Structure 1
Amino acid sequence: MMSKHKLFLLRHGEGAWNRENRFCSWVDQKLSENGVIEAQQCGQLLQDRGYKFDHVFTSILSRSIQTAWLVLQAMDQEWVPITKSWRLNERHYGALIGLNRAEMALNHGEEQVKLWRRSYDITPPPIDESHPYFAEIYNDRRYNTCDVPIEELPKTESLKEVLDRLLPYWNNVIVPEIKSGRTVLISAHGNSCRALLKHLEGISDTDIVNVTLPTGIPVLLELDENLKPVKPRELLGDQAKIQTAIKNVENQGKVNLGNKS
């Protein structure tokens, strides 16, 4: 089958809470120093391979937007339009937001933490007004810009619910851009990218548990005219380093991890 469209997915560069191994979710975090370097190196890699973008989509969280800026700057493509939507936000981890994954594994078991982090349809406990980050999230005026009232925004999400809120935006906004012949980069988050991969590649509810995306590594999807993949996804870059990075992400939910990035 012939490849007609190239789509690039990118989990943002490392943020401070990635380094601290905490559930970041909808708490707004800037990139760490290492995250800035990851984004710049990603842009340089894409530049070296001759890729050119026509439109970039991000969430409304700073780490996603910063990553897009740094990638475009490294590619000498700062002029490329960027469109932001809450529908590309990271998964809402509810009451787990701010907690350390390794400590959670110690208290609840590694298997439970893996289910909370990776499963398709298991939803963590919802956030409520007593949560230390509730006000910081829901009083943030960025959420007044959404296409739903602030009181209807999620208080927790499974990966399935991430896909449910992402799909209308994908179908109505991003798909027409791709089908018109534009090359699109989606600079988003681990779970919004995983949800989209599940949809595009037809990954089963069970197998999606084992799909891991490291920070700052671009994923190339080659699609036919119906936006079906014509070959397996390709994580671009040094494959040995990518496998190490994937292992580090997978280890974040294990006991006695320390501060793995």
Structure 2
Amino acid sequence: MPTLILLRHGQSQWNLEDKFTGWVDVDLTPQGEVEAAKGGALIKAAGLAIDTCFTSVLTRAIRTSWLALWGAGQTFVPEIKDWRLNERHYGGLTGLNKTETAAKHGADQVKIWRRSYDIPPPEMAPDSAFDFSRDRRYAGAVLPRTESLKTTLERVQPYWEGEIAPRLAAGQTVLVAAHGNSLRAIVKLLFAVADDAIVGVEIPTGNPLVVELDRALKPTAARYLDADRAQALPSLG
């Protein structure tokens, strides 16, 4: 039966520095490297044989996929990268310190920008140092200037339906090594999580979430491989 493994990247340098990262291409910290490799070791211990790996075009997710596949003893697995699995675009908040931003705009406003389902942060300025339109990874793509979780899902869903779901429908075991919000979008789609409930779903870094699916790609079981760092999962319905 199809099996999906969702793996949030390990701690990044800007996670450590408490900055809004979004699409900025920062690397893993040493702790993040350990988390990613441990995630792979847990996959190996669970006896999961991966057929295909998907990841974003951001270094922290790509290196997490590499380290996880290495830890699982499966570095030979084909890997597909696509920007539509990128983290949520944080718009004008990109690069800002989260604590300093809360002090400037108020904790309530920042909470709305960070945690609401459909209210995005302010748009990124056209002259921003983080203008991704000049990055060749996105050549020819129409890029957002900010995103809510809702618009992140709208970006992820066609890729999920067109590229990832068909592999699962063919009975594969698929690893998706990506980001907190792009993975939450997939969780929302799979588990039909309500808009007001998905904002409370947390996915820990480096902890593989294994979702077993039926032939219609409906979840039949789900578990984190590191039970000590598990978070609450949506109901299977």
SS at match of 2:195: coil
Instruction: Give the aligned partner of residue 139 of structure 1.
Output: 134
* C-alpha deviation, 1:138, in angstroms: 2.5
Report deviation, 1:41: 0.8
The answer for the alignment partner of 1:237 in structure 2 is 226
User: Is the Cα contact below 8 Å between 2:2 and 2:170 reproduced in 1?
Assistant: no
Q: Cα distance, 1:115 vs. partner?
A: 2.0
Are residue 6 (structure 1) and residue 26 (structure 2) matched? no
Q: For residues 1-261 of structure 1, what are the structure 2 equivalents within 5 Å?
A: 4-134=1-131, 137-144=132-139, 149-150=140-141, 152-231=142-221, 233-239=222-228, 241-242=229-230
Counterparts of 2:17 and 2:224, CA distance in 1: 25
Kindly provide the amino acid, as one letter, of the partner of residue 23 in structure 1: F
Q: Percent identity?
A: 48
Q: How far apart in 2 are the matches of 1:238 and 1:173?
A: 30
Residue ranges of structure 1 left out of the alignment (5+ in a row): 247-261
SS in 2 for 1:221: strand
Q: Give CA-to-partner distance per residue, 1:124-160, whole Å, 9 cap, x none.
A: 11112232322xx22222112xxxx24x211111111
Find the aligned partners of 1:121 and 1:91 in 2 and give their Cα distance.
12
Report the counterpart of residue 235 of structure 2 in structure 1: none
Task: Deviation per CA, 1:149-176: give whole Å up to 9, x if none.
Answer: 24x2111111111111111111111111
Equivalent-residue separation in structure 2 for 1:45 and 1:51 (angstroms): 9
Matched AA of 2:136: R
What code does the residue aligned with 2:224 have?
Answer: L
Q: Which residue of 2 aligns with 1:257?
A: none
**How big is each residue's C-alpha offset from its partner over 1:195-234, in whole Å with a ceiling of 9 and x where there is no partner?**
1111111111111111111211111112111111123x32
**Is residue 88–residue 189 contact of structure 1 (8 Å, CA) maintained in 2?**
yes
**Deviation (angstroms), 1:242:** 4.1
| TM superposition shift of 1:99 | 0.9
Partner Cα separation in structure 1 for residue 227 and residue 154 of structure 2:
33
Task: Tell me if structure 2 keeps the 8 A contact 1:11–1:214.
Answer: yes
- Deviation of 1:185 (Å): 0.5
C-alpha RMSD over aligned residues: 1.5
Q: Residue type of the partner of 2:166? A: P
Tell me by how many angstroms 1:112 deviates.
2.3
In structure 2, what residue type is equivalent to 1:235?
Y
5+ residue gaps in structure 2?
Answer: 233-237
Q: What is the TM-score of this pair, normalised by structure 2?
A: 0.93
**Equivalent pair of 1:42/1:216 in contact (CA under 8 Å):** yes
Residues 110 and 214 of structure 1: CA distance in aligned 2, closer, same or farther (over 3 Å):
farther
